[in-house]
Amino acid sequence: MTINLTMAVAIAGLYAAGFYLLMQRSLMRVIIGITILGHGANLFLQVAGGPPGMPSFIGEAIPDLMVDPLPQALALTAIVITFALTTFLLALAFRSWVLLGHDEVQDDLEDRRVAVRRARAVEETASPDVAGPDTSGEAEEASEDAPDAPDAPEVSREATR
């Protein structure tokens, strides 16, 4: 069994578009990306099932001409899972829009701290001969306690309930 080039390109296009949208910062684009990935997975399962054949009833068709029903069952299961996940993500996106007024995913303060630590580690490995003005570690501890992003919006406890 071989897959034709048109189906391979269609599946690759669906996966590429789905992953591209999944990496965006807008929740709605993420949801659309997950939906497109689900469609790509369904198409892949159907193509992996092989060409159409006779129903898989014993005594009704020649065993060599019967089609495997497992990819069809997996595709139906994937459709249900994608629908449930899309519904859940739409509810989360709506709640985020109601609470924040937009659907942009914000950086977490811990993510920013990890990024700063990683950038410092890269700088230290890039130039090990040059020592910074303060190598005692006190400045690093103080900077970890202070938020790195003063422009990040604060969310009150009332808004998160």
* Percentage, residues of the chain above pLDDT 70: 76
User: Residue 10: which pLDDT band, with cuts at 50, 70 and 90?
Assistant: very high
Q: Is 45 or 157 the better-scoring residue by pLDDT?
A: 45
Q: Do residues 8 and 43 make contact, with C-beta atoms less than 8 angstroms apart?
A: no
CB atoms within 10 A of CB 97: 14
Q: Residue 66 gets which letter from DSSP?
A: B
Ordered structural domains, the chain, with CATH: 5-100 (1.10.287), 109-145 (no CATH)
Q: Is 102 helix (H, G, I), strand (E, B) or coil?
A: coil
Write down the pTM of the prediction.
0.62
Distance CA 8, CA 141 (A): 52
* Predicted local distance difference test score (pLDDT) of residue 160: 46
Exposure string over 136-159, b if 16+ CB within 10 A, otherwise e: eeeeeeeeeeeeeeeeeeeeeeee
pLDDT digits (tens, 9 = 90+) for 36-69: 999 999 999 888 888 877 777 767 777 777 888 8
Across 12-16, 66-70, 102-106, 146-150, least confident range = 146-150
Distance CA 106, CA 88 (A): 19
Helix axis angle for 27-48 and 70-100, nearest 10°, is 180
